[in-house]
Structure 1
Amino acid sequence: MSALRLNARLAQRDADFDVTLDDGEVLAVLGPNGAGKSTLLALIAGLLRPDEGTVAIGDTVVTDTRSGIFVPPHARGVAMLAQQALLFPHMTVSRNVAYAPRSKGQGRSRAAAAAQRWLRAVDAEHLADRRPSQLSGGQAQRVAVARALAAEPRILLLDEPMSALDVTAAPSLRRLLREVLRDDRRTAVMVTHDLLDALAIATKVIVVENGRVVEAGPVRDVLTSPRSAFAARLAGVNLISGTMAEPGVLHTLWGAAIFGSGELPPGSPAVALFTPGAVSVHLDRPHASPRNVLEVTIAEMDVHGNTVRIRGADQPDGAPGLSADVTAAAVADLDLVPGLTVYFAVKAHEVGLHPSPAG
């Protein structure tokens, strides 16, 4: 079994994680820079020792601060795939992949057979006799995947494996990882900034902010109904935080009332979600329907396909600014420019009210 159970605190990095992953699941870890994603990987791998907590892989406890258990990284059954392939430059591709089996005591012929099998699995068998310097970035990462899997890890850790690849190599590696992880039911934890990685490869997502897991669930649930500012920004929806005042009404920290759909108990932390396409932009405050009207100062404008996305300045509580998608004609008619104060209006039935991660 390769399930993961982690409950660990590291005061120096202000990190406090509680993560559970079932056998065969692929977890995507999302979050802004500095949120603690790499710290989570290091705690799993044994590169960091928590101040208190436990880490278990399958039925094996590899970290337990109370009993003093701390299994070193090389004995945890964990393999890491980083942004760079980090292949041994003096070895051929085949010997790079055979390195892990040889390190476990396998004979040369058996290790070479394992290397051949894994190179075939990642469609890199024809590269076996090359040196790393003779490989493209995409080829090197394929070989790195084969080398990691040749170690027969119980859990594979991936630290933004596609980030250093060009736009032509990344889709190919993404498909490969989906096949070897999801189709073979291999347990993996993948840190990524790319929404496509999560959608294509992962079965479960967590969002990390300030050293805490603020959101978790199946990929579709998190990315279609996000509850955190980062996930909402990644999914391209607007999010406003607040507290439920009464059914269908959320009060923000700065005193605004947001009307929407959602039966949540009064006093509970909640978020309002709506798409940029549901927003209309006005130069003067509208007084008829819709019911939600928010004053916004335009911060920037970008072309998105056939529309122009208007982004407002940060919300009064510091959350990312709201966005509206309008036509180029509307931009010209209203003479919209950064720095202009406008009104975003959205109908109540376009707004979903959901429990907040804080709850």
Structure 2
Amino acid sequence: MRARLGERDIDLDVSVTDGQVLAVLGPNGAGKSTLLQLVAGLLRPDDGQVEVGDTVVTDTASGTFVPVHARGVAMLSQQAMLFPHMSVAANVAYAPRCRGQSRSRARASARRWLEAVGAVELADRRPAQLSGGQAQRVALARALAAEPRVLLLDEPMAALDVTAAPPLRRLLREILRGQRRTAIIVTHDVLDAMAVADRAVVIEDGRVAEAGPTRTVLTAPRSRFAARIAGVNLVPGTVSAPGVLRAAWGAEICGTGDAVPGTAAVALFRPAAVAVHLAPPRGSPRNVMAVTLAEVDVHGAAVRVRGTDQPDGGTGLAADITAAAAADLDLAPGQTVYFAVKAQEVALHPVPR
């Protein structure tokens, strides 16, 4: 898909191969749901082309625009959106009936998909009698019963509680990966992406900020959003010399990696690798950065110490220290401290232009 939508300042170029699951990540308002709407035919781009399989369903140059029902896509959103006056079985049989199947064939198809999602015992219930997790299982069965070429999932687990989300996540993994379904899943949750997606794209400000295998995007991110959800520090800049990154505001960070001098890159390092000092430390060579504290909070078994936003507006750097160390340092927001991290703990990664 390549599409530009001026009103929303969207300019995207995204692709997913047959049988692949693509996770779409990004902050609120970045354009993730707009991407799904463009694929589904709920929005027309100002310029661009959308293909589903080998069929062009949108092409502004030729005036092609296939309507929603004829695109071969199905969407599952945060809310199940089941027909309230129909039974569960009738809801799932709806798409097969719309495709012209007989009542008996449609009922058989509905039962098959309800069995696939572990909800066959719910067949005679009405949507009002279902829990949130049950309703999403039924909605997934209904979407799959449409036999879509591409399944679109817009935050399908966002509205579920902590007990209902994991089973649905496992179910999606089994169905999407086990059956080699082509799907695009929009999510804010790292677990969703890691569990079900082969590849991931990060959208920021209506543009693709990075793309690649899911594990690579979430363990060696190139964008601020991916770094934030992956829980690592990220400083963008330009490689000024081998093993040295110069940030836009002049700070230099030493690290290791294959980034070439003169190219754009990011420095990545874990909060657990950062030591916090009240005065500039002496001793072994390391990166030392003066930081004004924005927050000090418990983060799992550690205390997360985070600085104010970086000078270019990026998320503030973070350090994870022990509770004893935090007490000894007597840290408080507004205080200036020094973050130190050894060069071997810093990875310098090139950023594709």
Fold-level match, TM-score > 0.5?
yes
What is residue 215 of structure 1 aligned with on the other side?
A: 210
Residues 239-294 of structure 1, C-alpha deviation per residue, up to 9 Å, x if partnerless?
A: 00111111111111111111111232222111000000110000001233242111
1:184 maps to which of 176, 179, 182: 179
What is residue 238 of structure 2 aligned with on the other side?
A: 243
Q: CA deviation at 1:98?
A: 0.4
Q: In structure 2, the residue corresponding to 1:118 is in which secondary structure?
A: helix
What are the ranges of 5 or more consecutive residues in structure 1 without an aligned counterpart?
1-5
Letter in 2 for 1:14: D
Residues 178-218 of structure 1, C-alpha deviation per residue, up to 9 Å, x if partnerless?
A: 11111100000000001100011111110000001111111
2:114 maps to which of 116, 119, 135: 119
Residues 10-50 of structure 1, C-alpha deviation per residue, up to 9 Å, x if partnerless?
A: 11111111111111100110000000001100110011111
Residues 119-154 of structure 1, C-alpha deviation per residue, up to 9 Å, x if partnerless?
A: 011010000000000000000000000000000000
What is residue 21 of structure 2 aligned with on the other side?
A: 26
Is the contact between residue 290 and residue 345 of structure 1 (CA under 8 Å) also seen in structure 2? no
1:39-78 residue pairs with structure 2 within 5 A? 39-78=34-73
Q: Distance in 2 between matches of 1:263 and 1:200?
A: 29
Q: CA deviation at 1:340?
A: 1.1
**2:144 is aligned with 1:138:** no
Q: Distance in 2 between matches of 1:314 and 1:307?
A: 21
Higher mean displacement: 11-20 or 185-194: 11-20
Q: In structure 2, the residue corresponding to 1:85 is in which secondary structure?
A: coil
Q: CA deviation at 1:318?
A: 0.3
What is residue 343 of structure 2 aligned with on the other side?
A: 348
2:307 maps to which of 312, 315, 327: 312
* Structural RMSD (CA): 0.9
Is the contact between residue 29 and residue 189 of structure 1 (CA under 8 Å) also seen in structure 2? yes
Q: Distance in 1 between matches of 2:336 and 2:21?
A: 44
Q: In structure 2, the residue corresponding to 1:66 is in which secondary structure?
A: coil
What is residue 271 of structure 1 aligned with on the other side?
A: 266
What are the ranges of 5 or more consecutive residues in structure 2 without an aligned counterpart?
none
1:102-113 residue pairs with structure 2 within 5 A? 102-113=97-108
1:281 maps to which of 276, 279, 282: 276
Q: Distance in 2 between matches of 1:58 and 1:141?
A: 26
What is residue 159 of structure 2 aligned with on the other side?
A: 164
Is the contact between residue 214 and residue 228 of structure 1 (CA under 8 Å) also seen in structure 2? yes
- Give the TM-score of the pair, scaled to structure 1: 0.97
Letter in 1 for 2:60: T
- Give the TM-score of the pair, scaled to structure 2: 0.99
**2:96 is aligned with 1:101:** yes
Q: Distance in 2 between matches of 1:290 and 1:183?
A: 50
Q: In structure 2, the residue corresponding to 1:29 is in which secondary structure?
A: strand
Is the contact between residue 290 and residue 346 of structure 1 (CA under 8 Å) also seen in structure 2? no
1:196 maps to which of 187, 191, 194: 191
Q: In structure 2, the residue corresponding to 1:42 is in which secondary structure?
A: helix
Q: In structure 1, the residue corresponding to 2:246 is in which secondary structure?
A: strand
Is the contact between residue 76 and residue 143 of structure 2 (CA under 8 Å) also seen in structure 1? yes
Q: Distance in 2 between matches of 1:289 and 1:338?
A: 28
Q: Distance in 2 between matches of 1:20 and 1:73?
A: 19
Q: Distance in 2 between matches of 1:304 and 1:318?
A: 23
Is the contact between residue 233 and residue 271 of structure 2 (CA under 8 Å) also seen in structure 1? yes
Q: In structure 1, the residue corresponding to 2:42 is in which secondary structure?
A: coil
**2:148 is aligned with 1:153:** yes
Letter in 2 for 1:49: R
Higher mean displacement: 247-256 or 260-269: 260-269
Q: Distance in 2 between matches of 1:46 and 1:198?
A: 24
Q: Distance in 2 between matches of 1:201 and 1:155?
A: 15
Is the contact between residue 57 and residue 66 of structure 2 (CA under 8 Å) also seen in structure 1? yes
Q: Distance in 1 between matches of 2:118 and 2:43?
A: 34
Identity among equivalent pairs (%): 71
What is residue 74 of structure 2 aligned with on the other side?
A: 79
Letter in 1 for 2:222: R
Q: CA deviation at 1:304?
A: 2.2
**2:289 is aligned with 1:294:** yes
Q: Distance in 1 between matches of 2:100 and 2:179?
A: 25
Q: CA deviation at 1:301?
A: 1.8
Q: In structure 1, the residue corresponding to 2:37 is in which secondary structure?
A: helix
Q: Distance in 1 between matches of 2:296 and 2:32?
A: 30
Letter in 2 for 1:55: V
Q: CA deviation at 1:339?
A: 1.5
